């Protein structure tokens, strides 16, 4: 079972918005050297809404090739069209991804039964491990715990990224889910607490800029070492908060550019970080000693 610090990796771009594949390859090597436990490619942080189908596939193919089985590769393949989600998931399997991450259909607001049938259709169509992704703050659609538990009975649905930030809700899911169903944090600020309660890791934005510390914190939290995990999380907490001072991935791409790991490219409608927040983010980086 995949566990630990799974980075929701950014998609490096040149200043004109074209994909920067050499920088992505270098970034993947950086993560593996720093202890990141898995690469999540073309998720929200990877600007999935603004890459086209061919680019989406190229990014998955690049990650699989560069990782070369050193860590798992999880491909973001969700869509608000069930047919499109099936096509992307099938393509990710063909390209060699280890698992897929499927966001709840966004904007069209399906019912709970619609959500169940959507995810079941993808899982029935493609034989690859699939992780549900619930982020109602972005999608306008919330997968209830009861629906998650119905889906957990499917052999291809192996876990969920819970980005609700609700500890009570996460606890309920952990208590009721099958033992082999993985609950991953999707909210960095509450991820440590979720792991201490039995979560298997975090699909993380913070890990983009502090991969070593995130890996170490996850190891300790999963092992139940509260005091040591809390000490590392304290160094990361300002990042957990301030990396969302503007919409993700605007702040995290700014920090990575300041670290010299990527160029400043980002695609509209996202824009580069507002100058008024530069000092705030520099201060947030200080406890983790990354700038």
Q: Is 83 a catalytic residue?
A: no
Query: What's this model's pTM, rounded to 2 decimal places?
Result: 0.97
Region of residue 2 (left: phi > 0; alpha: psi -120 to 50; beta: else): beta
% of the chain with per-residue pLDDT over 70 = 100
Count of beta carbons in the 10 Å neighbourhood of residue 102: 24
Q: Is 253 a catalytic residue?
A: no
Assigned superfamily of 4-225: Aldolase class I (3.20.20.70)
pLDDT score, position 291: 87
pLDDT score, position 1: 76
pLDDT tens, per residue, the chain with 291 residues: 799 999 999 999 999 999 999 999 999 999 999 999 999 999 999 999 999 999 999 999 999 999 999 999 999 999 999 999 999 999 999 999 999 999 999 999 999 999 999 999 999 999 999 999 999 999 999 999 999 999 999 999 999 999 999 999 999 999 999 999 999 999 999 999 999 999 999 999 999 999 999 999 999 999 999 999 999 999 999 999 999 999 999 999 999 999 999 999 999 999 999 999 999 999 999 999 998
Burial of residue 225 (number of CB atoms within 10 Å: 0-12, 13-18, 19+):
middle
Contacts of 79 (CB under 8 A, 6+ apart): 85, 88, 103, 105
Q: Which of 93, 116, 133, 200 is catalytic?
A: 133
Q: Which of 91, 93, 116, 161 is catalytic?
A: 161
């Amino acid at each position: 079972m995949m566990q630990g610090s799974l980075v929701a990796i950014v998609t490096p771009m040149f200043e004109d918005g074209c994909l920067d594949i050499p920088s992505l390859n270098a970034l993947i090597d950086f993560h593996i050297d720093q202890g990141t436990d898995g690469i999540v490619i073309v998720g929200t942080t990877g600007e999935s809404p603004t890459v086209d189908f061919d680019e989406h596939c190229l990014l998955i193919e690049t990650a699989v090739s560069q990782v070369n089985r050193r860590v798992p590769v999880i491909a973001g393949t969700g869509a608000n069209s069930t047919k499109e989600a099936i096509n992307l998931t099938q393509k990710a399997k063909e390209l060699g991804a280890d698992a897929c991450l499927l966001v709840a259909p966004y904007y069209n607001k399906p019912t709970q039964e619609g959500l169940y049938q959507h995810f079941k259709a993808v899982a029935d169509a493609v034989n690859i491990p699939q992780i549900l992704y619930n982020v109602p703050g972005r999608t306008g659609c919330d997968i209830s715990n009861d629906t998650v538990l119905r889906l957990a009975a499917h052999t291809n649905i192996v876990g969920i990224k819970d980005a609700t930030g609700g500890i009570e809700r996460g606890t309920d899911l952990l208590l009721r889910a099958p033992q082999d169903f993985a609950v991953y944090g999707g909210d960095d600020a509450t991820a440590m607490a979720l792991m201490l309660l039995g979560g298997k890791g975090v699909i993380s934005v913070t890990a983009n800029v502090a991969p070593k510390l995130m890996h170490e914190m996850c190891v300790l939290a999963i092992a139940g070492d509260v005091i040591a995990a809390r000490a590392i999380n304290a160094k990361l907490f300002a990042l957990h908060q301030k990396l969302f001072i503007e919409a993700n991935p605007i702040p995290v791409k700014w920090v990575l550019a300041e670290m010299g790991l990527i160029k400043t490219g980002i695609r509209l409608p996202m824009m580069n970080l507002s100058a008024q927040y530069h000092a705030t983010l520099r201060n947030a980086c200080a406890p983790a000693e990354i700038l």
